[in-house]
Structure 1
Amino acid sequence: MFSLTGRDVHQGTDGWIPVYVDDTQSLCVMSIGFLLNNKDEAVVWRGPKKNAMIKQFLSDVVWGQLDYLIIDTPPGTSNEHISVVVNIKSISPDGAILVTTPQGVSLSDVRREVSFCKKILLPVIGIIENMSGFVCPHCSVSIRTHTMYMYTP
């Protein structure tokens, strides 16, 4: 998305230095992908190792002064989500923005994510539908046209 292939994370005196997207250093990114030898390599870790890495990304990366911290997680309500919430509770996050696509299975995941957020008392700020208006390259059918929902509990 940001064309950062081949960029490296470096260890600084205070922790890991994230990869900056631009010269003004106004947007930075941290990903397990920067730590892999091969971009096509699978990360096959059990819960404890994943949870430790999430904690390390949140505590050992020198983020600097942040206006926003966006954490991209896999679909669903797995250990990763619980680990993120546990590790960010101390900073009192404003809430979650959930991302879906028009497909039924994705919408089903988001319904469970809304339920998850309610259970852990994390406000849902909004729901973004990615790939809205996607036009099939094979049959030219357009799928959906709306893109953002504001969620009100």
Structure 2
Amino acid sequence: WVPVFVDQQQTLAVMSIGFLLTNRNDAVIWRGPKKNAMIKQFLTDVYWQDIDYLVIDTPPGTSDEHISVVENLKEAAGTGVLKAVAVGDVRREMTFCKKTGIPVLGIIENMSGFVCPNCSVSTNVRVRSVC
């Protein structure tokens, strides 16, 4: 599988189960084993090339998806986690990472802005869907 690049320079690639659906309105209704198998396939079968970071978007909490990601990435050199969670979930997510031995690289504050360290101009951070 080849990820979808969102920029001309091919520096940002995206992979989604939505890309694999025949109808974009279809719902994916899977239980643990099938979800875990798909997570493993996304991590092992997608041609990510030589990447610096792999961002994995998971539901909030510490569900099977998180455990599957951790188990599949545990042996990768330099693996750490950059969490994007609601404030109420931060403590649970940090505890989850600590218990599973995954270092936390940082926390993303969703719906926030970026303040330039040089000129102090604040810019809203926006994420656009490519689908």
Fold match by TM threshold 0.5: yes
Distance (Å, rounded) in 1 between the aligned partners of 2:67 and 2:61: 11
Q: Which residue of 1 aligns with 2:68?
A: 83
Q: Is 2:17 the partner of 1:32? A: yes
Task: Give the alignment's Cα RMSD to 1 decimal.
Answer: 1.8
User: Helix, strand or coil for the counterpart of 2:107?
Assistant: strand
Within the candidate set 40, 53, 56, 1:55 is matched to 40
Please show how residues 36-115 of structure 1 align to structure 2 within 5 Å.
36-100=21-85, 106-115=86-95
Aligned residues of 2:39 and 2:69 also touching (Cα < 8 A): yes
* Secondary structure of 2:74 counterpart: helix
Percent of pairs with identical residues: 65
Q: How many residues align?
A: 114
Aligned pair 1:124/2:109, yes or no? no
TM-score (norm 2): 0.78
Q: List alignment gaps of at least 5 residues for structure 1.
A: 1-15, 101-105, 134-153
- The 8 Å contact of residues 76 and 110 in structure 1, kept in 2 or not, is answered as no
SS class of match (1:91):
coil
Unpaired segments ≥5 residues, structure 2? 114-131
* 1:73–1:80 contact (8 Å) kept in structure 2: yes
Normalising to structure 1: TM-score of the pair? 0.68
**Which structure is higher in RCO with an 8 Å CA cutoff and minimum separation 6?**
2
